[in-house]
Amino acid sequence: MKELNKAIFLDRDGVINDNSIAYYIHHLEDFKLNDGVLETLRCFLNKGYLLIVITNQGGIAKKQYTILNVNELHTYFKNILEENGIYLSAIYYCPHHPEISKCLCRKPGTLLFEKAIANFGIDPLKSYMIGDSEHDIIAAEKLNIKGIKVKSNANLFEEIKKTAFSYLLE
Ligand SMILES: [Mg+2]
Ligand SMILES: [Zn+2]
């Protein structure tokens, strides 16, 4: 049997990009990478982890922006990464909001993680989730993925370095 992959899951807003600019980030000009993100992602790739972003985008259900806006933003984001030699395996987003309709994919729901695990043959026990919200960590831990809580909009590299998981950056 083929060996399973290991992955690092990442929340988007507050972890990858600065979300102090606006509550809902959907304009390209509002999308600013947090410090240390490129350096951190490069370390993870070098260690053989797949990179997968899992993000709640309830603004879609609330009609603040559309799926097209999200896809456009994600293309922009992936282009920035690729210019820096960094490749994401996937970005999964939940377009729902509990005030509009319930779903299984909005974190702390686990459906998006389960999809990624199935699509990429991932071993949860060898994988991590980096998030700035308790919901990110709860979702991951339901599936035995190790959660790494970081401060919002801080230098991601420095934040991870402070945790028990600093070995991921070595
Ligand atoms: Mg967040
Ligand atoms: Zn959902």
Span 103-144, pLDDT tens digits? 999 999 999 999 999 999 999 999 999 999 999 999 999 999
Q: How confident is the model at residue 2 (pLDDT cuts 50, 70, 90)?
A: confident
Active-site entry in 11, 18, 132, 136:
11
Q: How confident is the model at residue 23 (pLDDT cuts 50, 70, 90)?
A: confident
The 7-10 sheet, strands edge to edge: 90-94, 50-56, 7-10, 128-131, 146-149
The b/e string for 68-99 (b: 16+ C-beta within 10 A; e otherwise) is ebbeebbeebeeebeeeebebebbbbbbbbee
Question: If you measure from the C-alpha of residue 48 to the centroid of ligand 1, how many angstroms do you get, rounded to a whole number?
Answer: 24
Is pLDDT of 168 > 80? Answer: yes
Question: If you measure from the C-alpha of residue 17 to the centroid of ligand 2, how many angstroms do you get, rounded to a whole number?
Answer: 21
Q: How far apart are CA 57 and CA 62, in angstroms?
A: 9
Least distant ligand from the CA of 95: 2
What the chain holds in terms of domains, given with CATH numbers, is: 11-150 (3.40.50.1000)
- Per DSSP, what are the bridge partners of residue 152? none
Question: If you measure from the C-alpha of residue 9 to the centroid of ligand 1, how many angstroms do you get, rounded to a whole number?
Answer: 12
Mean pLDDT of the chain: 97
Question: If you measure from the C-alpha of residue 164 to the centroid of ligand 2, how many angstroms do you get, rounded to a whole number?
Answer: 31
Least distant ligand from the CA of 92: 2
Q: Is the pTM of this model over 0.85?
A: yes
Question: If you measure from the C-alpha of residue 95 to the centroid of ligand 2, how many angstroms do you get, rounded to a whole number?
Answer: 5
Is pLDDT of 1 > 80? Answer: no
| 11: annotated active-site residue | yes
Least distant ligand from the CA of 132: 1
Is pLDDT of 16 > 80? Answer: yes
| 123: annotated active-site residue | no
